[in-house]
Amino acid sequence: MPGSASALPPPSVLLRRFGLRPRKRWSQSFLTDARVLESIVQAAKLEPTDEVLEVGPGLGALTARLAPRVRRVVAVEIDPALVAALGQVLQAPNLTLVCADILGFDPGVYFPGPYKLVANLPYHVTSPTLMRFLVEIRPPTLMVVTIQREVGERIVARPGEMSYLSAAVQLLADVELVRRVPASAFYPPPKVESAVLRLRVLAQPRVPVDDVGAFLRLVQAGFAQPRKQLANSLAQGLEWPKDRALAALEQAGVAPTRRPQELSLEEWRRVYQAVGARAA
């Protein structure tokens, strides 16, 4: 196909050809390492019948590897200059380019059925993008995302090092750190290292909760002051008197002196039930 992976010039050449520069406001660094690109494709476990949403295609290094393997790729890019350049660089009958902000993009318009999401996510929109595609809209069946390494390690953390983001993602997906990616794999190289994560979206939340949004608001409230003991952090996050938070934690069987990062999802579920009972 014209503009196939093996034929694409490096980003530095393409940027000069089109008179473009990487835009800091959109965290633009272009992945160039062929081994990393191939590992992303392999992690997505692509089938010829798959439909794929690619976020941030940039100048097409990953797009050129996705398109020959699947039925259709919809590539969403916020930078209109890059959309115009990519339209000239890469032409495939099963590729649709969309100029849009992924945080306002509705995949239902383009994907009536199942789809996968593959993305080199801009660092500044990692958390809102993950939460949008896990919680707010119809999720993909699988996500493979390249994100800042520190954030990736936080997402796969176990109890003792949990955060609100790790609790939220692990509630709704099986998460695996596929590989770490050095800054030298990008042009221009960012100031931090990256990681590739694979998220297999669950059919049901990992622990039974009647309202995912309400459960996540409770967890977020519990992390209002993550360095504080849970009773203090939860009271502040819920705007409750401390004695009310203490009573809910006692009902849940969770020691009030623990830190929020120490709790498992099952323990958060018990707190959620107890808080609900206390709020009723």
In this prediction, residue 2 has a pLDDT band, given cuts at 50, 70 and 90, of very low
Q: Name the residue with higher pLDDT: 10 or 4.
A: 10
Domain count, the chain: 2
In this prediction, residue 279 has a pLDDT band, given cuts at 50, 70 and 90, of low
- What pLDDT, on the 0 to 100 scale, is given for residue 9? 83
The yes-or-no verdict on residue 5 having pLDDT over 70 is no
The yes-or-no verdict on residue 229 having pLDDT over 80 is yes
Q: Which domain holds residue 219?
A: 212-279
In 154-175, which positions are buried (b, 16+ CB within 10 angstroms) versus exposed (e)? bbebeeeebbbbbbbbbbbbeb
Q: Which two tokens stand for residue 111?
A: 């994907």
Q: Does one domain contain both 231 and 118?
A: no
- What pLDDT, on the 0 to 100 scale, is given for residue 92? 92
The yes-or-no verdict on residue 10 having pLDDT over 90 is no
Mean confidence (pLDDT) of the chain = 93
CB 197 within 8 A of CB 152: yes
- What pLDDT, on the 0 to 100 scale, is given for residue 181? 97
Helices 230-238 and 212-222, axial angle in degrees (round to 10): 120
**Span 109-147, pLDDT tens digits:** 999 999 999 999 988 899 999 999 999 999 999 999 999
For position 270, which CATH number holds?
Answer: 1.10.8.100
Q: Which of 176, 201, 226 is the last residue of a domain?
A: 201
